[in-house]
């Protein structure tokens, strides 16, 4: 059962791109793309809000926070104090535990035909994190077919801040099956080497490994078992960091961000999930390109700190429509 009377909203541009969003999790529920006199819905999701609570492990289209990805042993230290976060993936925390922002009701604070802003107030020690965080997330679709996600955080004291959007893309259409024949390019020469609990233990160069997408390649030809891996981006300023191309439609999506990493996840864990419009989502039904900081970065020498105000932006720009 849903825990709030959630509502859906829409934004669109003058080229026929239509985006549906929910105040449950500030979630992207649909992205309709015009192509060859058809409209392709290119993100996975659910028609019924209650399904987002029934299938919480999917995270379809939601805003992840306060910290995306994994925290080793669910603990970290900040300003000589140790904090403990719920462990929900073995010994570790994934996407801030079971009470993540993707399952919260967000307030709509502004809405126009092509932009909408959702706001969430996360109090001190919410999920176990220190400090009150006010997070505003704005989605804007422009007539150059760019969907910009702006994360505007305000904190009342130093805390950690690593949000992302967890949309699964299938540029052939959400109900078309496997994305492993999509082509992918990633502007990252290094990736995080993981231990057996998916916690980084170092970095390696992608050269001569299946992780190498520095030239555009077919996803499944690189590694048939799929990916759930973090790439260290080559630049730390807003620039193009990835390109994804649907093999059947030819629809292309360029990703731009000012965040330092992108997590490539090919939906390895999806299994007989009943999605929108009668679709069944199985393994590799969608691919995520989650812009964020490195997993377990809260325990690194350069944690993702906010102390006052911080803004991050990610852009998904579509072409070949």
Whether a cis peptide bond, with omega within 30° of 0, leads into 312 is: no
Q: Which residues are catalytic?
A: 166, 290
What the block records as the tokens of 286 is 């969608």
Residues 273 and 200: beta-carbon distance below 8 Å:
no
CA dihedral 234, 196, 284, 146 (to 10 degrees): -30
Sign of CA dihedral 58, 61, 66, 71: positive
Of 139, 159, 157, nearest in space to 149 by CA: 139
Give CA–CA dist 65/241, Å, rounded. 22
Neighbours of 236 (CB within 10 A): 10
What the block records as the tokens of 295 is 């997993």
């Amino acid at each position: 059962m849903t825990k709030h009377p959630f509502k859906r909203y829409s934004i669109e541009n003058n080229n026929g791109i239509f985006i549906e969003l929910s105040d449950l999790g500030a979630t992207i529920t649909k992205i309709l793309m015009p192509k060859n006199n058809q409209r392709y819905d290119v993100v996975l999701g659910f028609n019924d809000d209650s399904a987002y609570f029934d299938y919480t492990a999917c995270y379809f289209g939601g805003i992840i926070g306060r910290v995306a990805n994994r925290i080793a042993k669910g603990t970290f230290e900040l300003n000589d104090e140790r904090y403990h976060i719920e462990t929900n993936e073995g010994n570790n925390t994934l996407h801030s535990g079971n009470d993540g922002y993707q399952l919260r009701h967000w307030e709509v604070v502004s809405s126009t035909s092509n932009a909408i802003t959702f706001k969430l107030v996360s109090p001190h020690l919410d999920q176990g994190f220190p400090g009150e965080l006010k997070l505003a997330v704005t989605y804007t679709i422009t007539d150059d077919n760019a969907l910009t996600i702006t994360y505007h955080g305000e904190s009342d004291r130093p805390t950690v801040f690593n949000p992302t959007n967890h949309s699964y893309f299938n540029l052939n259409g959400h109900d078309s099956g496997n994305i492993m024949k999509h082509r992918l390019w990633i502007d990252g020469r290094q990736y995080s080497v993981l231990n057996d609990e998916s916690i980084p233990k170092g970095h390696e160069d992608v050269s001569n490994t299946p992780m190498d997408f520095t030239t555009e390649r077919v996803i499944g030809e690189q590694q048939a078992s799929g990916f759930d891996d973090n790439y260290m981006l080559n630049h730390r300023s807003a620039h193009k960091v990835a390109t994804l191309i649907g093999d059947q439609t030819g629809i292309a999506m360029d990703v731009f961000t000012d965040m330092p990493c992108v997590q490539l996840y090919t939906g390895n864990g999806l299994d007989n999930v009943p999605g929108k419009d009668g679709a069944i989502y199985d393994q590799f039904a969608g691919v995520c390109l989650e812009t964020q900081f490195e997993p377990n970065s809260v325990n690194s020498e350069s944690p993702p700190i906010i102390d006052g105000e911080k803004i991050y932006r990610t852009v998904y720009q579509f072409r070949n429509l």
